[in-house]
Amino acid sequence: MRLPFTVFTVFALSTALLAQKRTAPSGYDTWDRFGGSPDNIHYSSLKQIHRGNVANLKVAWSFDTGDAFQGSEMQCQPIVVDGVLYATTPKLRVIALDAASGKLLWSFDPWDGKQQSGRRSRGLSYWSDGKQSRIFGSAGIYLFSLNAKTGQLDDGFGNQGRVDLREGLGRAVDRFNISSTTPGPIYKDMLIVPTLTGEAHPSGPGDIRAYDVRTGKIRWSFRTIPRPGEFGYDTWPKDTWQHSGGANNWAGMTIDYKRGLLFAPTGSAASDFYGADRHGDNLFANTLLCLRADTGERVWHFQAVKHDIWDRDFPTAPVLVTVRRGGKLIDAVAQATKSGHVFVFERETGKSLFPLETRKVPPSPVDGELLATTQVLPLAPPPFSRQQFTEDMVTDRTPDAHRIVLERWRAVRKGDQFTPSSFEGTIVFPGFDGGAEWGGQAFDPETGLFYVNANEMPWILRIVPARVSRGVMSTQRIYVSRCASCHREDRKGSPPQFPSLVDLEKKFTQTQLEEVIRKGTGRMPGFASIGDAPIAALSRYLLKQEDTQAQVAEAPKGPTDLKYTMDGYNKFLDPDGYPAVKPPWGTLTAIDFDTGKFAWQIPFGEHPALAAQGLKNTGSENYGGGIVTAGGLFFIAATNLDRKFRAFDKLTGKLLWETTLPASGNATPAMYQINGKQYVVVGAGGGKSGAPSGGAYVAFALP
């Protein structure tokens, strides 16, 4: 059942839940790794700050990195070790701060002063053997190791402190880009690294790799696009591993250290929206993998989407939880999805703890596409996001908005989660950014409640003929054929996923931009194959709007030259730029895993302009997770536009405290204690949905 967005609604917790209250766990009073603890549950046992005094929270310290620039983001969840807070800045500098005062201790610039803009980083990894300690981070194609006390590169790691993430994948490194935006877990003396690949061809493979923390050498690899003789090879066309990419873990991984099990969720295969070159189910794309952390050996797997053409990546690292069945607590792993579902499995066997349903999927109307005939969804817990954009959900914000949206709604395809893409356009709802997103979920081991914040934005996926060309052509045509499917023909992009290319001269010199085009970055593949002259001409076009001609290098037609692509990442908006669907546009939900039912659900976030007109509690797009505490609280920032940092009662969802940050807090907070004083800190980076960018870390404590 969905909630009316104008009313605060709470589902009463069952008396059974309260009667079966679990024992409060110990060992959750630090925040020395991504997710706070090895099980990634975003939980703190600290309770100096609690329901009765949270309204008294004040700013304890604030540190402005000085690295914000137009359109920049800062998604880092800090870690705190021995009184030192480690974090990254919008330009991907690594900083160490005194966690009690915010005083800068050291700073490391991975670009050596040569890079003027940054990319996303969601955090850092820490390792120590008692004698030496290291901080691991990533910038561009490099993984680097720093001395945790000094911030200096560790010369014994890789090549003078750096490892090229493209190496060891069995392909020529100049053909694709690999980066890492999410910190990897440490297992014994290995760092297991999430990677970001391109979402269109050419794209690197999504191998999961464990690196020796001292030397940077690869200790083991698990190939997510199987090779001949490997399990899953028959779910791809012959020899696909030689040229296809993606199926990567970019959202992070979680380790059950007691059992030595690594849980790694993967994304879709390239290209994301048209799979004529990858007929078959495409194992291990869109899969929750359970691997031996020692060796990378597969234990079990669950593929949530077969032959994905909807960009249904697993968007977040899984959470290790306990679920009560028959009076007994079962160790489980929970994985939230972009589609608004939660899968819950026994850790050792992969057996689902809630019933699953196999659904028939209609065939694709796009020639060359061959979809799986069935897909699987859980019957419980209920979806935490709406599943179809129906006519009664068309916005009624204004009569004109309703009329225009309804006309567009009638012209496109709509249906459930697995409605195929089409030439006229297909509504994807929830959209490419969820449902759940990369901020991650929280689990309260005291109550068995699972917390997830979600987006409810419809997008329109439209398939169009590919326009890749070769030979002599204008730079405007080069741009349209290579770049417009992501950044749009008007160069305005689809922020925050695909940034605007307007005013690039404020961020890049021509030399810097040529390097980005040549090598790629983040999701963007490299385009070295088109030749140096077209790259230079394209750079001038983007920086100075000079439309000249260039000879694009000829290349043999290959298996990844696809007939179709998509026409861009298009949110379904009303004429004034608000979502085309009725609110809520963002939600916060608490799910009781023992019963499989909602404990409560509320709209999450506001649009300040609408709130000023009296339209409040609409919810808004949100990125970044929350943390749950033994003090009875749930802390979260995340909302794109209102810049709020909030604390809710974890049992009811009642708002107990809020404050305004210097920029939107699109990051997950961290909680720690220094000298008997409890702090909660969050990065205020902004930059999403047109919001102003920032670069400050703000810590709160009781007076």
Q: Is residue 496 scored above 90 in pLDDT?
A: no
**CA 668, CA 616: separation in Å to the nearest integer?**
24
Residues 283/288/293/297 CA torsion (nearest 10 deg)? -30
Is residue 555, in this structure, part of any structural domain at all? yes
In the numeric block, which tokens belong to residue 528? 């070295």
Exposure string (b/e) for 468-506, b if CB count within 10 Å is 16 or more? beeeebebbbbbbbbbbbbbbeebebbbbebbbbeebee
Question: Is residue 225 within 8 Å of 240, Cβ to Cβ?
Answer: yes
> Strand, coil or helix: what is 534?
helix
Is residue 543, in this structure, part of any structural domain at all? yes
Listed range (1-15, 85-99, 273-287, 309-323) with the worst mean pLDDT: 1-15
- DSSP β-bridge partners for residue 63: 697
- DSSP β-bridge partners for residue 153: 146
Question: In three state form, how does the secondary structure of 546-588 look?
Answer: CCCEEEECCCCCCCCCCCEEECCCEECECCCCCECECCCCEEE
Which one, of 628, 601, 647, 107, lies nearest residue 383 by Cα? 601
Is residue 484, in this structure, part of any structural domain at all? yes
Query: In this predicted structure, what is the pLDDT of residue 116?
Result: 56
What are the tens digits of pLDDT across the range 472-495?
Answer: 777 776 777 667 767 777 777 766
Question: Is residue 177 within 8 Å of 194, Cβ to Cβ?
Answer: no
Query: In this predicted structure, what is the pLDDT of residue 10?
Result: 43
62, with CB counted inside 10 A (0-12, 13-18, 19+), is middle
Is residue 83, in this structure, part of any structural domain at all? no
CB atoms within 10 A of CB 66: 11
Residue type, 84: V
| Mean predicted confidence (pLDDT) in 623-634 | 98
Q: How far is CA 363 from CA 220, 276, 277, 410, 621, in A?
A: 39, 13, 17, 21, 32
Higher pLDDT, 1 or 439: 439
Domain range for 519 is 467-561
Query: In this predicted structure, what is the pLDDT of residue 556?
Result: 46
pTM: 0.90
Which one, of 334, 320, 324, 443, lies nearest residue 19 by Cα? 324
Structural domains in the chain (count): 1
What are the tens digits of pLDDT across the range 116-157?
Answer: 556 789 999 999 999 999 999 999 999 999 999 999 999 999
Query: In this predicted structure, what is the pLDDT of residue 192?
Result: 98
Exposure string (b/e) for 333-359, b if CB count within 10 Å is 16 or more? bbbbbbbbbbbbbbbeeeebbbeeeee
In the numeric block, which tokens belong to residue 264? 């790694």
518: CATH? 1.10.760.10
Is residue 99, in this structure, part of any structural domain at all? no
Listed range (178-187, 528-537, 618-627, 644-653) with the worst mean pLDDT: 528-537
Q: Where are the alpha helices (DSSP H) in 313-376?
A: none
Query: In this predicted structure, what is the pLDDT of residue 92?
Result: 95
**CA 387, CA 454: separation in Å to the nearest integer?**
13
Query: In this predicted structure, what is the pLDDT of residue 13?
Result: 43
DSSP string, 203-266: --B--EEEEETTT--EEEEE-SSPPTTSTTGGGS-TTGGGT--B----S--EEETTTTEEEEE-
| Mean predicted confidence (pLDDT) in 595-621 | 96
Query: In this predicted structure, what is the pLDDT of residue 115?
Result: 65
Listed range (57-71, 191-205, 457-471) with the worst mean pLDDT: 457-471
- Greatest mean pLDDT among 11-20, 496-505, 525-534 lies in 496-505
| Mean predicted confidence (pLDDT) in 636-651 | 97
| Mean predicted confidence (pLDDT) in 77-90 | 98
Is residue 535, in this structure, part of any structural domain at all? yes
Is residue 121, in this structure, part of any structural domain at all? no
- Greatest mean pLDDT among 17-21, 480-484, 525-529 lies in 480-484
Is residue 479, in this structure, part of any structural domain at all? yes
